[in-house]
Structure 1
Amino acid sequence: MALRPGAAYAGRGQGGRDQGARPRREAADEGLIMGVPARFMGPRLVFVACVLGLVAFGLVMVFSSSSILNLISDDAGNNPAYYLTRQAGFALVGVVGAYALYRIDYHALTHRIGPAIWAGTVLALLLIFLPVAGQDAYGATRWIAVGPLHFQPSEFAKITVVLAAAELLDEFRRTGGSFEPGFLARAAVVLGVPLLLIVLQPDKGSTMVCAVTVLVMAYLAGVDWRFCAGAVALGFLGFLLLSLKDGYSRARILTMLDPWRDPYGDGYQLIQGFYAFGSGGLFGVGIGMGRAKYSYLPFPYNDFIFAMVGEECGLLGALGLVAAFGLLLWCGYRIARYAPDLTGRLVAAGCSTLIFAQMLLNVSGVVGAFPLSGKPIPFVSYGGSSIMASLMLAGLVLSVSRQSRLPLTEHDERRRDWSVTEAPRDPGPTGSFAGEATPRSAREGARQRLTVLGGGAAGEVPPTRRTSRMGRGTATPPGRAASQARGGRGRIDLGPSAGDRLRTNNDGRPDVRGAGGRRGDRRSDRRGR
């Protein structure tokens, strides 16, 4: 049975109330955006608008916060737009990568070529520890030099962690939701090895973001909340022990607690960020008019770009930036809601959660609510690996949205079991289909082929009233049998002859068969008597 274009969307969403299914009447009434239901295309368009808006805003802020430093830098060629042009080039490469992931089925990334992606990620993370490849900077070895370019494998490892976690949690649900020893061993290898290599760089910020994302995905996949809460407690304890182990991380914790104990040492950057926020006020001093970038605030275009946003755009601008990421997270979860399967829901929710968690980690460090992590704000801070990986995460979310569809209702499942046959139906002893399920398409076809049955043939003697009444239950008129053979419901028979339906009484007035007519004639007969 074929459906006309658009019938699949219009027919769904009207689930039966008798089975407890939630009615989806809005699916039949909602509009289409570019041929796609609004509930799918709406979050997708808003998500894309948020990503493009954040990238554009980030380019403006990177230029504003780095132009003064580049003017006096020989490495930048005294070009004020040096970081701007590099960031724009990285963003262009990231857009190409995002579009490629948008066109690729995410099932191929999680199942078919997932092991190859995981192996490549682990190999790149291992290359960091080789002296010929790894590059040290600011007390950590996180970069690999490829000619004049440096890229950070841990940024791309986040994508691998999300894909691997989605595949593992989907297997967890398929096997009944039990933590078998084999499943735990596989999860320890697939997720534990990349996270261990990241934390050994050391890069505790990326490890924390990935761990939080995996826990959120596990909770969404149906893992018991008590297990997730226990994992959070153990993770926090492990992070605290690792931070207190080395002096660099311990100094960051002490700086968060009291930055004024060393205002010209460890607390200098955080204090200058406070000054930038304080000078911005409610509305800011204007884009390009900030003063913290004049060699007062270290890394104003990267780690502390949020402080520059607070100075030049004010408190409202800073809150607007956080709200934009919140809207992006909401759109990602809306896309995950209509994903075709659990893997798609986890991929969309995991990518959106990771982007939002990394933004929250950076903002919390800049305002002094959490130790500084050195992680950039996705789409906004300067960094080639960061913006490319963030755009690729957005491409994965759009890949899930591209395959979204309406959930099947009870009526959709019934339509799959229906079939229209050409063989005539057996009308049974009474010639009635009452109480029998009849396909809608068969009824519509019967209406289109409906023929009007005329009265008796010329010269035929009209039967008496008693004969016509007695014959209804024992014989089926030819026209009615033909209508039933075509697949429609049996029509109400008003008599085989037009003369029997419209007769005249003794006084010559027409005797109309019906509720009102017969009752009126009987009353007149009583009065006459």
Structure 2
Amino acid sequence: MERSARSSRRTAKGSRFTALRQGLTAWLGRPLASFHLLLAVFGLLAVIGLVMVLSASAVQDAQKTTLSSFGKPMLLDALGLIGFYLGLRVPLRWLRQFSPTLLLIAAGLLALVLTPLGSGANGREHSWFTLGSLSFQPVELAKVALALWGAHVLVTKRALLTQYRHLLVPLVPVSMVLFALIMLQPDLGSTVSLGIVLLALLWYVGAPMRLFAVVLGSATAAVIVSSIGSGYRNTRLTVFLNPDSDPLGAGQQPLQALYALADGGLFGRGLGQGAAKFNYLSNVQNDFIFALIGEELGFIGAIVVLGLFGMLAVVGLRIAARNTDPWIRLVASALTAWIVGQAAINVGYVIGLLPVTGITLPLISAGGTSIVITMMAFGILANCARNEPDAVAALRSLGPGRVGGLLRLPAPEPYRPPARRKPVRPSTPPRGAARTGGSRAAAPSPEERRRVHRSAPPTEYRRRSAWRSGHGRSTEGGRR
């Protein structure tokens, strides 16, 4: 009896698991599944980020007796939602056509920020423009512009990408110019983020592995040289190699971040109950907000955040794989790699696996331009999801759906591959043109040949006819 009951329970569990798997597979096969999954990930990350920033800023608001730290994140999220809607609403073909202009604007702003018009954390840095209480950092715009323009260049030259000259030029030289402008600020963390976009474009276009070995080796050498040559970068590298070398100075943030993660335990100390934000961990709302998540929400909250970024990686690559337009595939892959890669670097240096670089956690950390531009990148990804062939067919035949009707989104246009040019066979030059050096002449037509043959003298005409009739035939006497 017990064996039969156990077997029946196992059968029931197996049937429920099978039904759940079949239902999930059927839902994922729906035309707009990628679009809805991306919206869910975007909404959850944005809400978690807003809540954690408000929690981290609560102590500052209590000390200042103002709500400045509350109103600014709300305003930035409102601007970010506008950017998300624009990225979702604008046709992708317009973004591709406008991508060279957008890159020129980003490069111009990167050069302009190095002038006295730019400002930074101290007198020697020029990283952003100050607009009242808000600031604009042009390097964030350069990440999206490089992804859009780089995909446009590679797709335009896709028939020639087997040659290194066409694979690297002009993508790599233009990227080097952007890297140089960012390093002049100086901002090593943003340079690394922009490098992720470049590597993603080369990876997903199918560049050979030896090229990545050369690029990564050169980038590593450049980072080491720049770290040794700069005081604060050298200090960060020393602290990474020996965390206890300066616990009250440069090593304070990494050590306090590890203490905050340890204090959180499995379920955390509770939302708003973290102690790290009481000046134990400086600027916790910016670069080290993942430590506050681990302290207040515990290991469970940290795993949820990591799971959302992992889900973003899966959904972004799914969008790229399900599209037929090669430009959309490259853009979706590059934007996904940038956001997920930047999140991995931020979490890596918070938990002590990487040296501190100052890269923010996308959609979670407090920031001005990073929040707005990241939300706009999510809007472009959602637009790419709506351009999947199945989604296009469903939206054009069944209507915009609930989300599309609420946001008044137009139906995307189906992808039409460019027409292939027919190869033109080159004409054969006359036999004597190469010897005489003259210009090519048209070959005579059969009618002209007959006319010239008939106009020959009678004796010559009879000799040619006899030669044609007897050519190749021999007689018994050996005469032809």
Normalising by the residue count of structure 2, what TM-score does the alignment of the two structures yield? Answer: 0.73
Given the alignment, which residue of 35, 39, 47 partners 1:44?
35
After TM superposition, give the deviation of residue 39 of structure 1 in Å: 4.3
After TM superposition, give the deviation of residue 191 of structure 1 in Å: 2.0
SS at match of 2:388: coil
Return closer, same or farther for 1:176/1:252 CA change in 2, 3 Å cut-off: closer
After TM superposition, give the deviation of residue 176 of structure 1 in Å: 4.6
Letter in 1 for 2:41: C
SS at match of 2:126: strand
Return closer, same or farther for 1:297/1:136 CA change in 2, 3 Å cut-off: closer
Given the alignment, which residue of 129, 151, 154 partners 2:139?
154
Letter in 1 for 2:208: D
Cα deviation per residue 1:324-371 (whole Å; 9 max; x = unaligned)? 101011101111111231110010111111111111111111111111
Q: Which is higher, the Rg of structure 1 or of structure 2?
A: 1
Kindly report which structure 2 residues correspond to 1:487-502, keeping only aligned pairs within 5 A, or say none. Answer: none
SS at match of 1:141: coil
Match of 1:490 in 2: none
Mapped partners of 2:124, 2:307: distance in 1: 33
| Runs of 4+ that moved beyond 6 A | none
Structure 1 residues 165-174 or 196-205, which shifts more?
165-174
**2:275 aligned with 1:291:** yes
**2:198 aligned with 1:214:** yes
Match of 1:67 in 2: 58
Return closer, same or farther for 1:84/1:212 CA change in 2, 3 Å cut-off: same
Does structure 1 conserve the Cα–Cα contact (< 8 Å) formed by 2:114 and 2:184?
Answer: no
Cα deviation per residue 1:270-309 (whole Å; 9 max; x = unaligned)? 1111111111111111111111111111011111111100
Segments of structure 1 that go 5 or more residues without pairing to the other structure are 1-29, 408-529
Kindly report which structure 2 residues correspond to 1:10-49, keeping only aligned pairs within 5 A, or say none. Answer: 38-49=29-40
**2:380 aligned with 1:389:** no
Given the alignment, which residue of 141, 146, 159 partners 2:126?
141
Match of 1:255 in 2: 239
Letter in 2 for 1:261: S
Does structure 1 conserve the Cα–Cα contact (< 8 Å) formed by 2:119 and 2:125?
Answer: no
After TM superposition, give the deviation of residue 164 of structure 1 in Å: 1.9
Letter in 1 for 2:58: S
SS at match of 1:279: helix
Match of 2:401 in 1: none
Match of 2:74 in 1: 88
Match of 2:101 in 1: 116
Return closer, same or farther for 1:370/1:176 CA change in 2, 3 Å cut-off: closer
Q: Which one has a larger percent helix, Structure 1 or Structure 2?
A: 2
After TM superposition, give the deviation of residue 138 of structure 1 in Å: 8.4
Given the alignment, which residue of 279, 287, 291 partners 1:307?
291
SS at match of 2:341: helix
Mapped partners of 1:289, 1:147: distance in 2: 32
Given the alignment, which residue of 50, 53, 58 partners 2:44?
53
Mapped partners of 1:101, 1:39: distance in 2: 23
Normalising by the residue count of structure 1, what TM-score does the alignment of the two structures yield? Answer: 0.66
Match of 2:261 in 1: 277
Letter in 2 for 1:66: S
After TM superposition, give the deviation of residue 106 of structure 1 in Å: 2.3
Does structure 2 conserve the Cα–Cα contact (< 8 Å) formed by 1:359 and 1:376?
Answer: yes
Q: CA RMSD in A?
A: 2.1
Segments of structure 2 that go 5 or more residues without pairing to the other structure are 1-24, 392-480
**2:211 aligned with 1:227:** yes
Mapped partners of 2:53, 2:283: distance in 1: 11
Does structure 2 conserve the Cα–Cα contact (< 8 Å) formed by 1:164 and 1:190?
Answer: no
Kindly report which structure 2 residues correspond to 1:507-526, keeping only aligned pairs within 5 A, or say none. Answer: none
Given the alignment, which residue of 153, 156, 167 partners 1:168?
153
Match of 2:13 in 1: none
Match of 1:193 in 2: 177
SS at match of 2:54: helix
